[in-house]
């Protein structure tokens, strides 16, 4: 008997530590930990998400319920951030966290817990500059989180978005995920006008294959295994919708008559048109009689660019999607992209021109041709003015639904008739009363970024340069024009200091600012400058150290990890630089002329010297180029060689020998 008891005791004692390892976690979290117990944590990561599971249920009347469970193992001190539950909502009328529980299972076996009472909501605008919105950040932090802890959260949130039961989910996070699950369902309460048999549930995913090791998918489930962390430090990453994995969810409920029809793009476009139409009130803030339609539109656009400020103020959740009335935007003298587009269309309507809002996506990759219907693909609105005949603007597009002039009134420096370069390569959706008209932005529609620098002055024998630097900037290529507008000469000086070859120049002042008189004119500023170290002795040669020269690209770090994103280099600014410098002594350029041609850039250099004067000229243009993931090694090699070639080109261009002598050109 005593042997039996001893044996039983040993068995229990042996089993106890295994059980106690995960004691204190709920069963679902326990399972997630056990499932990953045999695997090594990913190397070099701060945390490992063992499970991220979301069940999205439609509850009728436009309401979604999300039940989210998450289990994380903290691997380093930086990973302790996972001990904070964080959720961003649109305010109580739209989103609310109904339930929350959190567990922190510590390495010593003790457990800390929190619940909904520990939730703190903070005004999200506190971190958002001048934006005013209804957004709220809700957070709750588990105490005593340290390396080795297992963190678990379970939350339930209800959402009732103005656009209805729709969502766009991006699974990747800053930490790798062992198992990711997204499930959708319908859970209608007893009293509801919604009918389950009439509902349509769509789950569309894109780009999962490139990221997950295992994918299980059905019409209501997406399950992924071993998702890596979102890559960081990948220079020139083409990280848009054509690469990142995402899942679009939508519940189409005929009972929701105020929400958009998302069964196809036409349905959504018409809904947008219907919401904007009553807001497009006829306005005439500037006289438009007695001039041609073309000139009247130019006048309207010029007035809007100086008189209205681009600013995001959303006092209700709907304002994220529905614009202000034109008259109200004029009263306020500010508005966001939707408001400014609506105001412009209101002005166009005073010229008896119809118009439509245009949905766009800025800065996060173009919308693919096979994108699922989802409002969250867009983050910007511009305007399309319907034209019966061409006004001969570059930004006119012909579509099956008519001819339109595309205008982005949020750009202070882009004249009417062009689009700012942020729309390069974009697909835009014009929302007409008849439906959607998709257009691709042609390069010819884009405002052309160009910059010219003209340096005149002298370099003393001690290497001090004094002179003037004249900068001509088109399309706000360097941001100088907009800085001058909003921050004046002081702000312009601060921003122009980046052209100085070194910190603390003896003198660097803006001596004149000339805004463009006509749309095609550049913005001009002249700086009076003085600094030392303009001429540096290197062996038997000098090297000139001059302002505003093209900078060679930054070195690329060598990493063992393969890239996840293709390499995409956009076209750069047209760059033209000249210098006329008195050096007071004979000097001959090492290279009187030079040319640089790489897959990424083209540049030419000319230098001449006579009677103690140096005349120099540099033209440069960065070329667009792309390498797909399979060609990344070749791409990285090309980027490294481009840097080397660029450095060499500039070094030779700026090298001079004292005294006259033959100078050679080279390729």
Residues that bind another protein (CB under 8 A): 76-77, 91, 108, 110, 116-123, 125-126, 130, 132, 134, 136, 147, 306-307, 309, 311, 313, 315, 328, 331-334, 485-491, 493-494, 497-498, 500, 502-506, 508, 532-533, 536-541, 554-558, 643-644, 647-648, 651-652, 655
Other beta carbons within 10 angstroms of residue 662's beta carbon come to 7
Is residue 422 a contact partner of residue 435, using CB atoms and an 8 Å limit? Answer: no
N- to C-terminal Cα separation, the chain? 95
**Of 294 and 648, which CB lies nearer to another protein in the complex structure?**
648
Is residue 365 a contact partner of residue 240, using CB atoms and an 8 Å limit? Answer: yes
CA 299/CA 175 separation, integer angstroms: 51
Least distance in angstroms from the C-beta of 307 to another protein: 7
β-pair type (246-252, 200-206): antiparallel
**Of 308 and 455, which CB lies nearer to another protein in the complex structure?**
308
**Of 149 and 262, which CB lies nearer to another protein in the complex structure?**
149
**Of 100 and 429, which CB lies nearer to another protein in the complex structure?**
100
Least distance in angstroms from the C-beta of 185 to another protein: 29
**Of 77 and 626, which CB lies nearer to another protein in the complex structure?**
77
CA distances to 2, 13, 283, 636 from 462, rounded to whole Å, are 98, 83, 63, 41
Strand partners, 236: none
DSSP conformation letters of 401-416? TEEEEEE-TT-SSPPT
Least distance in angstroms from the C-beta of 218 to another protein: 40
Other beta carbons within 10 angstroms of residue 503's beta carbon come to 7
CA 323/CA 341 separation, integer angstroms: 9
β-pair type (120-123, 200-206): unpaired
**Of 88 and 498, which CB lies nearer to another protein in the complex structure?**
498
| Polymer length of the chain | 667
**Of 290 and 539, which CB lies nearer to another protein in the complex structure?**
539
User: Which position has the token pair 């919708």?
Assistant: 241
Least distance in angstroms from the C-beta of 466 to another protein: 16
Residue 32 CB burial class (10 angstroms; 0-12, 13-18, ≥19): buried
Least distance in angstroms from the C-beta of 651 to another protein: 5
CA distances to 453, 534, 590 from 464, rounded to whole Å, are 20, 6, 21
CA 333/CA 327 separation, integer angstroms: 10
**Of 197 and 233, which CB lies nearer to another protein in the complex structure?**
233
Residue 363 CB burial class (10 angstroms; 0-12, 13-18, ≥19): exposed
CA distances to 335, 416, 474, 559, 563 from 300, rounded to whole Å, are 16, 9, 21, 52, 47
**Helices 265-276 and 337-349 meet at what angle, rounded to 10?**
70
Token pair of 501, please?
A: 């070859």
Least distance in angstroms from the C-beta of 542 to another protein: 11
Residue 419 CB burial class (10 angstroms; 0-12, 13-18, ≥19): buried
CA angle 278, 417, 339 (to 5 degrees): 30
CA 395/CA 416 separation, integer angstroms: 9
**Of 76 and 379, which CB lies nearer to another protein in the complex structure?**
76
**Of 264 and 502, which CB lies nearer to another protein in the complex structure?**
502
CA 573/CA 201 separation, integer angstroms: 46
Is residue 533 a contact partner of residue 505, using CB atoms and an 8 Å limit? Answer: no
Other beta carbons within 10 angstroms of residue 523's beta carbon come to 23
Largest CA distance in the chain: 113
**Of 67 and 556, which CB lies nearer to another protein in the complex structure?**
556
The candidate with the shortest Cα–Cα distance to 186, out of 173, 175, 202, 171, is: 202
**Of 88 and 195, which CB lies nearer to another protein in the complex structure?**
88
Least distance in angstroms from the C-beta of 510 to another protein: 11
**Of 399 and 466, which CB lies nearer to another protein in the complex structure?**
466
Least distance in angstroms from the C-beta of 492 to another protein: 10
Is residue 182 a contact partner of residue 222, using CB atoms and an 8 Å limit? Answer: yes
**Of 284 and 399, which CB lies nearer to another protein in the complex structure?**
284
CA 251/CA 515 separation, integer angstroms: 51
**Of 1 and 126, which CB lies nearer to another protein in the complex structure?**
126
């Amino acid at each position: 008997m005593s042997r039996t008891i001893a044996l039983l005791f040993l068995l229990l004692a042996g089993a106890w530590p295994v059980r106690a390892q995960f004691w204190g976690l709920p069963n679902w979290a326990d399972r997630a930990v056990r499932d990953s117990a045999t695997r090594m944590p990913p190397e070099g990561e701060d945390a490992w998400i063992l499970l991220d599971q979301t069940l999205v249920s439609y509850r009728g009347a436009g309401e979604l319920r999300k039940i989210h469970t998450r289990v994380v193992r903290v691997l380093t001190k930086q990973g302790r951030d996972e001990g904070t539950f964080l959720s961003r909502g649109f305010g109580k009328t739209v989103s609310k966290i109904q339930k929350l529980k959190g567990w922190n299972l510590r390495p010593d076996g003790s457990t800390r817990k929190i619940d909904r009472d520990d939730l703190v909501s903070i005004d999200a605008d506190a971190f958002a500059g001048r934006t005013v919105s209804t957004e709220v950040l809700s957070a709750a932090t588990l105490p005593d989180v340290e390396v080795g802890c297992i963190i678990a959260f379970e939350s339930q949130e209800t959402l009732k978005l103005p656009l209805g039961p729709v969502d766009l989910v991006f699974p990747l996070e800053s930490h790798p995920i062992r198992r990711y699950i997204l499930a959708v369902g319908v859970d209608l309460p007893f009293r509801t006008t919604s009918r389950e048999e009439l509902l349509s549930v769509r789950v569309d995913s894109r780009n999962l294959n490139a990221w997950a090791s295992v994918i299980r998918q059905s019409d209501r489930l997406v399950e992924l295994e071993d998702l890596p962390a979102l890559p960081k430090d990948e220079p020139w990453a083409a990280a848009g919708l054509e690469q990142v994995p995402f899942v679009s969810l939508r519940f189409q409920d005929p009972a929701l008559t105020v929400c958009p029809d998302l069964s196809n793009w036409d349905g959504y476009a018409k809904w947008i048109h219907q919401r904007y139409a009553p807001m497009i009130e006829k306005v005439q803030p500037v006289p438009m009689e007695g001039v041609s339609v073309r000139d009247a539109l130019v006048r309207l656009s010029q007035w809007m660019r100086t008189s209205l400020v681009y600013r995001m103020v959303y006092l209700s959740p709907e304002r994220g999607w529905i614009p202000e009335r034109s008259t109200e935007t004029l009263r306020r003298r500010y508005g966001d992209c939707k408001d400014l587009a609506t105001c412009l269309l209101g002005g166009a309507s005073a010229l008896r021109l119809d118009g439509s809002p245009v949905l766009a996506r800025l800065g996060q990759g173009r919308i693919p041709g096979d994108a699922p219907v989802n409002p969250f693909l867009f983050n910007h609105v511009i305007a399309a003015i319907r034209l019966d005949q061409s006004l001969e603007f570059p930004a006119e597009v012909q579509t099956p639904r008519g001819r339109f002039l595309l205008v982005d009134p949020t750009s202070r420096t882009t004249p009417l008739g062009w689009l700012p370069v942020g729309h390069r390569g974009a697909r835009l959706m014009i929302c007409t009363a008849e439906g959607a008209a998709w257009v691709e932005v042609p390069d010819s529609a884009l405002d052309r970024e160009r910059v010219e620098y003209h340096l005149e002055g002298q370099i003393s024998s001690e290497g001090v340069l004094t002179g003037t630097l004249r900068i001509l900037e088109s399309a706000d290529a360097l941001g100088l024009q907009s800085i001058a507008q909003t921050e004046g000469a002081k702000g312009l000086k601060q921003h122009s200091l980046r052209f100085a070859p070194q910190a603390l120049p003896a003198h660097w002042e803006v001596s004149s600012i000339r805004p463009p008189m006509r749309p095609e004119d550049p913005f001009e500023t002249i700086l009076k400058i003085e600094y030392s170290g303009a001429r540096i002795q290197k062996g038997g040669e000098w090297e000139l150290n001059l302002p505003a020269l093209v900078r060679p690209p930054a070195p690329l770090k060598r990493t063992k990890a393969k890239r996840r994103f293709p390499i995409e280099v956009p076209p750069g600014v047209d760059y033209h630089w000249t210098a006329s410098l008195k050096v007071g002594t004979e000097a001959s350029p090492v290279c009187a002329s030079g040319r640089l041609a790489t897959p990424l850039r083209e540049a030419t250099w000319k230098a001449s010297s006579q009677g103690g004067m140096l005349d120099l000229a540099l033209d440069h243009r960065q070329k667009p180029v792309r390498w797909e993931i399979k060609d990344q090694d070749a791409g990285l090699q090309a980027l490294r060689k481009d840097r080397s070639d660029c450095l060499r080109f500039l070094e030779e261009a700026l090298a001079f020998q004292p005294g006259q002598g033959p100078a050679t050109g080279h390729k």
